[in-house]
Structure 1
Amino acid sequence: MEEVKVDLLINNAHVYNSVTREFQNISVTVMEGKFYWLTNDVANIEANQVLDLNGKYLIPGLIDSHMHIESSMTTPQNFGNAVAKFGTTTVIADAHEIANVAGVKGLKSYMGQDSIIDVFYAIPSSVPSTNTDMETTGGTIIAEDIEELISNPKVICLGEAMNFQGITSEPNSLIRKIIERVHSKRPTMPIEGHCPKYTGLDLAKFIYSGVTSDHTQQTADSVVEKIMNGMFIQLQRKSINEEILRTISSQKLFEHVALVTDDVMPDDLQVGHLNEIVKLVIKNGLSPEEAIYLATYTPARRMGLWDRGSIMPGRVADFVVLDDINTFKIDSVYKNGKKVGLEEKLDEKFTFDDSLVNSAKAQKLNLKDFDLCVEKKNGKVNANVIQISKQGTFTKKVSKELRVDNHKVCWEEAGLALLMIQERYGKTGDITFGLVDQSITQLGAIGATWAHDHHNIMVLGTEISSMLAIQNQLIEKQGGYMVAKKGKVTVEVGLPVGGVVSELPIKILGDQVRELRKQMRELGYVNTNEIMSFSTLSLLVSPELKMSDKGLFDVKSQALVKLFE
């Protein structure tokens, strides 16, 4: 037999086989960053490096097929530095937050930053998430922009289509034009969807448009219905429970499911990434072999990444060494056949486009600007109020009768919080107000430019002086996430890149966000994810009642809802 020269020879490992979903005892070779030959005949192999794993487990690098780097409030570089040690070696990022702030120009700037992991991108399909009559964004992506973006080799899919009304009922909507342009240029490109709670005919209309995946919160029934109608399901944390996993296993639906993170807060990112989802799936009933399959092989095939997701000849040599498969304890991670350092690496200097570093152009307000007044001088008014839940990001519309005193609405005495959204891109200067139930219960305020998806200035408070302090400081600092008490900002997470991203390493940023979360709770804002709950009060595609700089909207019908009846 001829002598075989390779860069790396891996011996004494239990190697994951993606075809059989089993581990096998076999040696693995790597050459020029790719897996080369799997064999037990190593006598004639000459390797530059030999790695003896002493019975440990070898699996492909984890692939996150639906996520948003900006949801971690960070840059591609810092994100890669943070997640590589947790086994994530490839992500498909939908950077629609950046695109909403600065359009194609800002998106290309953001995509231009390198990372130690492989970052592929989705074309943001919903910029804005609805339309310009419902929200003001800093940038837009129109059908004519698709051709420029689709030619970028980093772009491999169309990002989540969210506008249900535009997709299903408006033949000339922007989202339909974008989907048509993608179909004409890349007929087989995956089209991602955001499809919460839609079933029956509504679901059929959504899939008929060309949308072929969904990552929103699922039930066992919705998983089956969507898969049986041709959808690929991306399970994030909130959809993982024993019933759903038992359904996937019993009905043999593995080929149509992948594990994803979607959004991971910076403080959570200090602890783990997609590996934590894998652990949760194992804890809730799937075998480690099945969980690994859903975090490597199925996402790779869904996204047409035929060069990875398995340990086979010619595939990218991204792999994770596990001490134990049941606990998913990671020993080490390799990218392109080379070991990844466990400590975060220092960033190289990168300059983002001016559209991302000078995006807050709103005017500072004063105390009088927060007066909530009506034409009626005295008496009572009925208000349509956003009621948040303690879990998830969905809201309800509830009616509250409020007293009016000399034209001012006495919302404070009803235990409500005032919500203010201000257009920040220097286009209209519009300011709108809403009222929120079951949110802040103590005196203070919360505010951010990290307000999905339009990312205008959003402040919620029970104390006007604190709301004003946040509004002023968000403009001064070109964006951020803040809490204020007694008229002073008490915690600040600076987000100067587009008002949505920090350039700090996750080690520092995560600590800041942890303190932010703590102070939000101290104000009485309690949710399974306080930060995302608050930030999606402005998300016009997440049921039921949400708000933008244009006013209150019913999400499904997209109808404007009057604050006061």
Structure 2
Amino acid sequence: MDNREEASKDTVLAGDTKKQQKRILAAAGKIPPDLILHGGGILNVFTGEIEYRDLAVYDGMIAGIGHYADLVKVDWYTKMIDCTGHIICPGFMDGHIHIESSMLSPAEFAAAVIPHGTTAVITDPHEIVNVAGLAGLDYMLQASEGLPVDVFVMLPSCVPATSLDESGAVLMARDLAAYMEHDRVLGLAELMDFYGTAAAREDIIDKIMLTQKFKKVIDGHAPGLSSYGLNAYVAAGVSSDHECSDQEEALEKLRRGQWIMIREGTAAKNMMALMPLFKKPYSSRCMLVTDDKHPGDLIKQGHIDYLIKKAVKNGADPITAIQMATINTAAYFGLTGRGAVAPGYIADFVILKDLESITVEAVYKRGKLAAGKEIFDKSKADKADQSPISVKPGKTYEWNNGKRDELLGSNNQSGVFHSFHLKELTAEDFYCNESGNTVRIIELVPGELLTKEVILPCIESYKDIVKLAVIERHHNTGHIGLGYLKGYGLKSGAIASSVAHDSHNLIVAGTNEGDMCLAANQVSRNQGGLAIALEGKIIGELALPIAGLMSGDSAEQVDISLTNLKHIARRLGIKEGIDPFMTLAFLSLPVIPELRLTTKGLADVKTQKIVKTWF
């Protein structure tokens, strides 16, 4: 290091020292803070108390809690916010989400959730990485930089999910090593291959040991795993699970030392079955997560604020629920200085109307207003001014540094923006060549991601059975898995999607081969997305050109298209209570019991083997 580098380093250190000195002096009440919030109740997530004091913010950090309006001579640049009658709590954190499943780019996802009080998410980008490999991971890290919501990343552990999948890439420990030092990478994402983990498969153990070397966390995904298999899974180093569907399963995993992520998303809704976990001592080891959330649900329901509201409505203590969406998440992931409103913490906080309705009135990110109204003086403002400001769709936000257009079209990541490598399909590709006296069928379980295996003597005499196909789209292998699906409700036409967890091949359900072919080819031409065909015509579509998973449009715009497609699907017979696209998306994921369909054929999840459809 030459003298110029030494001088530059000293200058940076000196600047940091002066900033820290001023923060301390602001906390001590010796210099005015940048912002004082007066009159509100501050939710203390450490003790569960509400403190009626001033909240002082300086340089994007919480300076302190006390009587700052009286203690210091407020300078001309100090903002004073009257929060009388309101509650100030930490910004909400989603401990496990796949941003790609919102069908939104990271910038538009952030714009959709920040008005709901979300200030940080921990995402597993395994959807896009299964499609585009490391180019997909690079895209997500770049596209999520500088957003109003802090996006932390867990490195995908299962690309592909299992050997029964054909994905666009295969990642080993050596591929992940260079990313472990990234300041927004927190660990290894959900180990879906819990069979391979419990069997101590070498490639999985390599990823675990790499993560442990960097002292980072390892998330789990092990629906129904118990007893000695669970012992092995936890002993391997897996410290959380978001797949618990009942109290007994969750308690066993808590007893073995795992943290439980209580999931309530668009497809999987486990909260009601896990309400007992909102009480001590269990709640201190639990977090609230969404996993997968469609744009319409984000707009109409909300994000983590919706989970807190639902929990409170069903008997949970609101302070406990907020702790599970803030400090617990920060503690699990080792995010020091986040998840609380306390001196020295990052000034990410939410102003709530009250603890009954959990209505988000304003959101502050590093001490600056990110969404909502800045003045809450009921004596001076009429009721019309009290509603939160909604983020306008399609806006290139200042916090994204003008990168939105660059990220959506000009960075030449061919694996991200041109991800379909597939021949033109014909109706003959969807004919089943197997034969036998009985047929093995996938049956949906209402309200769950789980499926059942059903064996029938024939299919002609049974109603509500449609054909299902999964077509490999990454390497043009020509592989097509064919099967049958019961309980979906489709009466005519076909529905195709490139959102098919986790390898995201092209999945199609239909009543006839011609419409299945038409819908599949339309998705391919669009470089991904959704399409519905009926009687030889495309009657609805949504293009998702970012890896076949995401749109560059706003949440509002995507929701309009998606809502229209869902209405069409309902007219074609899809049952109420079944999300036609989210449900379809999980039918090819061979890590959730019992039966799935991949490009290789029907997969028995418990045995991890391909089985015959007809026999």
Q: Normalization by structure 1: what TM-score?
A: 0.93
Q: Give the CA deviation at 1:465.
A: 2.1
What corresponds to 2:11 in structure 1? none
Write 1 or 2 for the structure with the bigger share of strand: 1
| Candidates 421, 431, 444, aligned match of 1:361 | 421
Distance verdict in 2 for CA 1:64–1:245, change over 3 Å: same
Distance verdict in 2 for CA 1:245–1:413, change over 3 Å: closer
Residue pair 2:442, 2:485 contacting (<8 A) in 1 also: yes
What corresponds to 2:391 in structure 1? 343
Residue pair 1:57, 1:325 contacting (<8 A) in 2 also: yes
CA distance in 2, matches of 1:473, 1:411: 29
What are the superposed Cα offsets for residues 260-301 of structure 1, whole Å, 9 maximum, x if unpaired? 111111111112111000001101111111111111110011
What are the superposed Cα offsets for residues 187-214 of structure 1, whole Å, 9 maximum, x if unpaired? x311100011111112112111110100
| Candidates 373, 378, 400, aligned match of 2:433 | 373
What corresponds to 1:395 in structure 2? 451
Q: Give the CA deviation at 1:414.
A: 6.0
Task: State the identity %.
Answer: 31
Divergent runs of 4+, >3 A: 410-415, 527-530
Provide the aligned C-alpha RMSD in A: 1.7
Residue pair 2:423, 2:476 contacting (<8 A) in 1 also: no
1:412-451 matches, within 5 Å, as 415-451=464-500
1:52-451 matches, within 5 Å, as 52-113=82-143, 114=145, 115-131=147-163, 134-172=164-202, 174-183=203-212, 185-186=213-214, 188-237=215-264, 238-241=269-272, 244-249=274-279, 251-271=280-300, 272-341=302-371, 342-344=390-392, 346-347=395-396, 348-351=404-407, 352=411, 353-374=413-434, 381-402=437-458, 415-451=464-500
CA distance in 2, matches of 1:245, 1:399: 35
CA distance in 2, matches of 1:414, 1:308: 53
User: Any unmatched runs of 5+ in structure 2?
Assistant: 1-27, 372-389, 397-403
CA distance in 2, matches of 1:286, 1:415: 39
CA distance in 2, matches of 1:156, 1:247: 25
Is structure 2 residue 587 aligned with structure 1 residue 537? yes
CA distance in 2, matches of 1:496, 1:42: 52
Is structure 2 residue 519 aligned with structure 1 residue 470? yes
Equivalent position amino acid for 1:365 in 2:
L
Residue pair 1:164, 1:556 contacting (<8 A) in 2 also: no
Q: Give the CA deviation at 1:84.
A: 0.1
What corresponds to 2:608 in structure 1? 558
Q: Give the CA deviation at 1:90.
A: 0.3
3-state DSSP of counterpart to 2:574: coil
Distance verdict in 2 for CA 1:415–1:11, change over 3 Å: closer
What are the superposed Cα offsets for residues 155-202 of structure 1, whole Å, 9 maximum, x if unpaired? 012100010221112432x3222112222x21x311100011111112
Residue pair 1:3, 1:46 contacting (<8 A) in 2 also: no
Is structure 2 residue 577 aligned with structure 1 residue 549? no
Distance verdict in 2 for CA 1:415–1:337, change over 3 Å: closer
CA distance in 1, matches of 2:574, 2:169: 31
CA distance in 2, matches of 1:423, 1:2: 64
Moved more, 44-53 or 67-76: 44-53
3-state DSSP of counterpart to 2:153: strand
Moved more, 515-524 or 139-148: 515-524
3-state DSSP of counterpart to 2:347: coil
What corresponds to 1:407 in structure 2? none
User: Any unmatched runs of 5+ in structure 1?
Assistant: 403-409
Q: Give the CA deviation at 1:528.
A: 4.1
Residues matched between the structures, number:
547
CA distance in 2, matches of 1:457, 1:317: 44
What are the superposed Cα offsets for residues 454-504 of structure 1, whole Å, 9 maximum, x if unpaired? 111111100222111111111111000122211222121211110111111
What are the superposed Cα offsets for residues 225-263 of structure 1, whole Å, 9 maximum, x if unpaired? 11111000010122212x6333541x5222201111111
Residue pair 1:192, 1:213 contacting (<8 A) in 2 also: yes
CA distance in 2, matches of 1:391, 1:484: 26
Q: Give the CA deviation at 1:344.
A: 3.2
CA distance in 2, matches of 1:248, 1:90: 22
Q: Give the CA deviation at 1:416.
A: 2.2
Residue pair 1:317, 1:336 contacting (<8 A) in 2 also: yes
CA distance in 1, matches of 2:417, 2:353: 44
Equivalent position amino acid for 1:280 in 2:
K
Residue pair 1:463, 1:486 contacting (<8 A) in 2 also: no
3-state DSSP of counterpart to 1:42: helix
Q: Give the CA deviation at 1:29.
A: 0.7
Q: Give the CA deviation at 1:370.
A: 2.0
3-state DSSP of counterpart to 1:340: strand
What corresponds to 2:3 in structure 1? none
Q: Give the CA deviation at 1:41.
A: 4.5
Q: Give the CA deviation at 1:368.
A: 2.2
Equivalent position amino acid for 2:499 in 1:
W
What are the superposed Cα offsets for residues 369-409 of structure 1, whole Å, 9 maximum, x if unpaired? 222234x6xxx62111111123222111111223xxxxxxx
What corresponds to 2:45 in structure 1? 18
3-state DSSP of counterpart to 2:46: coil
